[in-house]
Structure 1
């Protein structure tokens, strides 16, 4: 991999608005999803966060833009946990990284069922 090439990243992040005075953060999460929809990156929400994948710089920019949008919506503070994985031992077809990881585990479990 060339030094100037962007790493392909598979990230999981959980953005938590703080100080909104509301028991639900759904409106703020929806604002973040609106941002993600515009990125063109593959993402998938789950109950406690969002998986997103693509070039490292684009993934980081998307998370930054979510922060900016949620602040603009009125959240005075935001705490975000991020886990990021990269690999250079094989080529990851863009948009397939997280699905491949899940599929691999499902294949192992299916094999166990047959045994």
Structure 2
């Protein structure tokens, strides 16, 4: 990998608007989704069923970071005075990751292992 090459990142982030005075953050999450849809990056918003709150996002490191930045800017513009975001990012250089498949591959491997357990 050359110095100008961007690492491929598989990120999980949870953006939490604060100080809005509202009990629901759905409008703010929707605004972030609108931003992500424009990026062309692969993403999946998760509901708190089995997988917890948050969004999986993957692509070149700089594009992933820019997308999270743009979500912050959009949610602030929508009226949230404060935002707290937790981010976990994984990268690897030991094998090529086909763009858009980083997180799906991980989930599929776990499902395959669990399926073997059920057959036993």
Q: TM-score, normalised by structure 2?
A: 0.92
Large movers: runs of 4+ above 6 Å: none
Alignment of 1:1-115 (within 5 A): 1-44=1-44, 47-115=52-120
Q: Encode CA deviations 1:60-115: one digit per residue, 9 max, x unaligned.
A: 00000000000000000000000000000000000000000000000011111122
Q: Distance in 1 between matches of 2:94 and 2:115?
A: 26
CA offset at residue 57 of structure 1? 0.2
Superposition CA RMSD, Å: 0.7
Cα distance in 2 between the residues matched to 1:24 and 1:86:
33
Cα distance in structure 2, aligned partners of 1:114 and 1:24: 42
Partners in 2 of 1:113 and 1:76 — Cα distance? Answer: 48
**Structure 2: how far apart are the matches of 1:3 and 1:109?**
39
- Say which SS state the counterpart of residue 105 (structure 1) adopts: helix
Question: Where does the alignment leave 5 or more consecutive residues of structure 1 unmatched?
Answer: none
Q: TM-score, normalised by structure 1?
A: 0.96
